[in-house]
Structure 1
């Protein structure tokens, strides 16, 4: 008797249940990405997603510290948090089933990627998973996942009215211009910081290029051991104290663990359109970044925090 449909139904039911558990908040998402990479190190994107998700958590809790409470009113801070949270949730909701189906495929020794249609995953990334199963190109799959998730994010979050409303506001515009709110940090175990930023981050091509550059730094032989060691030895709490306690300097502003600041947010699952149906020419996004030797940028980051502090003091003085 063929019980394959029954097994498939069981796999889908398990994934739906686990997705609800692991997509609870920024901490559960980050932890899942990093544990997944431990068990499936060939999926480089999972580790990249972990470090980017850490940054999302740090940005969320920054909004609750004294500096940002001075710089932005409560409505602006709430809207910014909503964008960070929605982006973090959306990417996980799309990517997690892909990661789980890959694990199931490994266990069964055969590709099960056709099941991803159940989760509204793009035909583009389904084809990339099939190609990876056959050719095992770790770098290509990582780039493909970067491309896919940025297009998913574009349509599900960044093209929505809330995002456009927030970035059009003068306080946010001035903060972004002077402090680079959209930079991503890659802390290392020895207290050094690697970082990149994107501007304007509204352009999907810029965010894809940023993702590829971050992957280059993360997996560069000179940086991977120290960044990976930081991630292993410092579980993500949402507080910037996760890494600033390792550095020779600190912004000296309170930074709270995420669950002390924000409740769990309930998201409405909306049916997504397949972005790849209208973006058929994506070959150019696979172009590798030009290699370079990663350098630490501690002073640059320190300068940006100083700019935020000065902006806060000016705002306080004006009030």
Structure 2
């Protein structure tokens, strides 16, 4: 196959799988199952699951109390657009690595033709020869968070309607923006997002999540959950293992249509030759990583806040 034909096939396959949150989540997991050395793919599948749960929360009973229809739509588009952008950038890299394995030689010189940052070309080439799985996972974390910084976090419309909004401040102050790794034993592990708009904080979180996800004593339970529990987008996927019987959020594909995205012009390279070695330092985990009770306590707190907010709205009209 020619280079042009390969690039076309990679783009076609990426577009097909970048349909919605469920197709992305499943694609990442399927890829990890076949290429377990690419640890980032498993991390991405679990973080993508969390994004799906956050999306359907907006249509669930809890957030219906505290958010207007316009606020719900903007928050959904934040999750959806960020997830779409990351997949559009990262999945072609994964497929190019897959094809490199098939033919037995690196094809990473084609990365610029896929619009991938120059930062990643060197990292993929390094990985090909040295097989440092942790460094590549960190590189992909660094790349994905920088990829969304300007188009999403610094976007004036998202700033105004999401990151400077009261619901966003409420969720952040209550630490409700938490990435959770559940198990079928009904135990939740996870970490909260602090200062979400800061790219370095999100990179730090990504590294900590990777440390948690691949802990030898916990990884089998996390892997079992993602293999055993189909992703529907509903938070009930995880809550039912703790004995919760009432579904508080709907299925994703009955809640949202497929969104057509575009790259909105020429994609710019975020990397400008900074000292990359400073980016790869490890991050230590906080002491508290088992958060089952904490999670339900925060849900109850948010219920109180949104109920009061809803009451004030109705009684001050």
Q: Structure 2-normalised TM-score?
A: 0.94
- The residue correspondences of 1:116-131 to structure 2 (distance < 5 A) are 116-131=111-126
Offset at 1:222? 1.4
Q: Which residue of 2 aligns with 1:316?
A: 310
Q: 1:214-293 counterparts in 2 under 5 A?
A: 214-249=209-244, 252=246, 254-270=248-264, 271-277=266-272, 280-290=274-284
* Match of residue 3 from structure 1: none
| Residue 207 (structure 1) aligned with residue 202 (structure 2) | yes
Distance in 2 (CA, whole Å) between partners of 1:131 and 1:171 is 43
CA distance in 1, matches of 2:209, 2:26: 19
Q: Is the 8 A contact 1:90 1:153 kept in 2?
A: yes
Please say if residues 66 and 307 of structure 2, whose CA atoms lie closer than 8 Å, have aligned partners that are also in contact: no
SS of residue paired to 2:249 = coil
Is 2:8 aligned against 1:9?
no
Distance between the aligned counterparts of 2:88 and 2:25, measured in 1? Answer: 13
Distance in 1 separating the partners of 2:40 and 2:287: 21
Are the aligned partners of 2:7 and 2:114 in contact in 1 as well (CA < 8 Å)? no
Q: 1:293: Cα distance to partner?
A: 7.0
What is residue 173 of structure 2 aligned with on the other side? 177
Please tell me whether the aligned partners of residues 223 and 294 of structure 1 are also in contact (alpha carbons under 8 angstroms). no
How far is the alpha carbon of 1:217 from its aligned partner?
0.6
- Helix, strand or coil at the partner of 2:15: helix
CA distance in 1, matches of 2:66, 2:241: 27
Alpha-carbon distance in 2 for matches of 1:295, 1:92: 27
* C-alpha displacement of 1:181: 3.1
Question: Could you give the per-residue CA deviations for residues 112-142 of structure 1, whole angstroms, max 9, x where no partner exists?
Answer: 0111111110111111000000000000000
Aligned to 2:185: 190
How far residue 292 of structure 1 moved from its aligned partner, in angstroms, is: 6.8
Alpha-carbon separation, structure 2, partners of 1:253 and 1:311: 20
Q: Which ranges in structure 1 are unaligned for 5 or more consecutive residues?
A: 1-5
Which residue matches 1:307?
301
- Determine the C-alpha separation between the residues in 2 that align with 1:120 and 1:141: 18
Match of 2:59 among 48, 64, 69: 64
Aligned-pair CA distance for 1:235: 1.4
Matches of 1:170 and 1:255, distance apart in 2: 22
The CA deviation string for residues 125-173 of structure 1, in whole angstroms up to 9 with x for no partner, is: 1110000000000000000100011000112211111221122122331
1:159 maps to 2:154? yes
Q: How does 1:27-42 map to 2 (within 5 A)?
A: 27-42=22-37
Supply the distance in 1 between the matched residues of 2:2 and 2:310 (Cα, whole angstroms): 62
Task: Quote how far apart the aligned CAs of 1:249 are.
Answer: 4.5
Aligned length: 311
Q: Is the 8 A contact 1:67 1:253 kept in 2?
A: no
Aligned-residue offset at 1:218: 0.4
The separation in 1 between residues aligned to 2:166 and 2:307, in whole angstroms, is: 18
- Cα offset for 1:17? 1.0
Is the contact between residue 212 and residue 289 of structure 1 (CA under 8 Å) also seen in structure 2?
A: yes
1:18 paired with 2:13, answer yes
> Could you tell me how far apart the structure 1 residues matched to 2:307 and 2:177 are?
22
2:248 and 2:288 map into 1 onto residues whose CA distance is 30
Matches within 5 A, 1:101-112: 101-112=96-107
CA contact (8 A) 1:191 1:246 kept: yes
Displacement of 1:175: 3.3
- In structure 2, the CA distance between the partners of 1:93 and 1:212, relative to structure 1 (3 Å rule), is same
Instruction: Determine if contact 1:67/1:312 at 8 Å carries over to the other structure.
Output: yes
Query: Take 2:135 and 2:13, find their aligned partners in 1: how far apart are those partners?
Result: 27
